[in-house]
Amino acid sequence: MPTILQELPSDLDQDRLPRHVAVIMDGNGRWAKRKGLPRIMGHRQGVDALKGLLRCCNDWGIQALTAYAFSTENWGRPHEEVDFLMTLFERVLVRELQEMMKENVRIQFVGNLADLPRSLQEQIERSMQETKNNRGIQFTVATNYGGRQEILHAARAIATQVQQGHLQPDEIDEALFSRHLYTANVCDPDLLIRTSGEMRLSNFLLWQMAYAELYITDALWPDFDRVQFHQALSAYQQRDRRFGKV
Ligand code: IPE
Ligand code: IPE
Ligand code: MG
């Protein structure tokens, strides 16, 4: 049954797929609430939705997927929810590493990783090391990530180079700045998907999103599946990306 859509649906144009899809996985809490379940059950279900999307991107030939898993602002949630999420990330990483190797996924984490629990940092390091030579999809997980924090981090690194005399201020251009962001190894997202109807960026990839096409769906993240992704790609292929030109 789930094999039906394994190949790229015939109405989509292989040559006009986004190279990089970014996703704000929102609505886990509301999904759980609607079912009368605790919020954490929504997060658990959200992992399955992410696994499904990763596999789908891989199957359909998309080169990069970036998922927003935890923002710098999400520390402000109840302690138990934050703890649950950190433990969930760690468990999922341990559990899915073999599968990612089999599917040739290269995983990386972006964000202020040093403030994550030590044991999670270790699993992150391990998963990045083990998958770094894989040649399939580049899968980036934004964890303790904030767009403003990332820009400040880059600005500080560049300022230090100037201060040490390795760089002149007029050598700082967009390309150099981009190389100092966490996402230096991937192109900017072509398509941003946000679930659960919220029309905001919530501090996600602020610099990189300059010309991303935005697709917002009312579907809650745990319900986001191949059919929904197909709809997002169809909408994307109907867009006229002008990049400021006529
Ligand atoms: C997104 O779902 C997951 C994270 C931010 C970790 P939410 O937990 O924000 O779900 P809602 O928005 O409360 O429904
Ligand atoms: C954005 O969702 C962060 C992640 C999906 C990890 P939030 O639920 O935290 O965003 P706001 O609070 O609605 O802006
Ligand atoms: Mg939310």
Tens digits of per-residue pLDDT, 212-246?
A: 999 999 999 999 999 999 999 999 999 999 999 99
State pTM to two decimals: 0.97
User: Does the residue 7 lie in any domain?
Assistant: no
Distance between Cα 193 and ligand 2 center (Å): 13
User: Does the residue 193 lie in any domain?
Assistant: yes
Q: What is the CATH number of the domain that holds 81?
A: 3.40.1180.10
Taking 50 as the threshold, does the pLDDT of residue 1 lie above it? Answer: no
Which two tokens mark 70? 């935890």
User: Does the residue 11 lie in any domain?
Assistant: no
Q: What is the pLDDT of residues 146-192, one digit of tens each?
A: 999 999 999 999 999 999 999 999 999 999 999 999 999 999 999 99
The number of domains in the chain is 1
Q: Are the C-beta atoms of 193 and 205 separated by less than 8 Å?
A: no
Distance between Cα 37 and ligand 1 center (Å): 14
CB atoms under 10 Å from CB of 98, counted, come to 10
| pLDDT the model gives residue 6 | 85
- The Cα–Cα gap between 149 and 104 comes to 31
Quick one: which atom of ligand 1 is closest to the CA of 27?
14
Query: Does residue 26 line the site of ligand 2, with CB under 6 A?
Result: yes
Q: Which residue has the tokens 């006009």?
A: 16
Distance between Cα 159 and ligand 2 center (Å): 31
Q: What is the pLDDT of residues 85-131, one digit of tens each?
A: 999 999 999 999 999 999 999 999 999 999 999 999 999 999 999 99
User: Does the residue 6 lie in any domain?
Assistant: no
Query: Does residue 27 line the site of ligand 2, with CB under 6 A?
Result: no
Residue ranges with CB less than 5 Å from ion ligand 3: 26
Q: Which ligand is nearest to the CA of 43?
A: 1
Containing domain of residue 94, as a range? 16-146+189-237
Distance between Cα 2 and ligand 3 center (Å): 28
- Going from the C-alpha of 134 to that of each of 69, 100, 140, 142, the distances in angstroms are 22, 9, 14, 20
User: Does the residue 230 lie in any domain?
Assistant: yes
> If you take atom 12 of ligand 1, which residue's CA is the nearest one?
27
Which two tokens mark 206? 């602020």
Antiparallel, parallel or unpaired: β 64-71 and 20-24:
parallel
User: Does the residue 4 lie in any domain?
Assistant: no
Ligand 2 pocket test, pick from 70, 71, 140, 205 with the greatest ligand atom count within 8 Å of Cβ, gives: 71
- The Cα–Cα gap between 207 and 94 comes to 31
Which two tokens mark 156? 């500080």
Pocket of ligand 1 (CB under 6 A): 25-30, 70, 74, 85, 196, 221
User: Does the residue 46 lie in any domain?
Assistant: yes
Query: Does residue 74 line the site of ligand 2, with CB under 6 A?
Result: yes
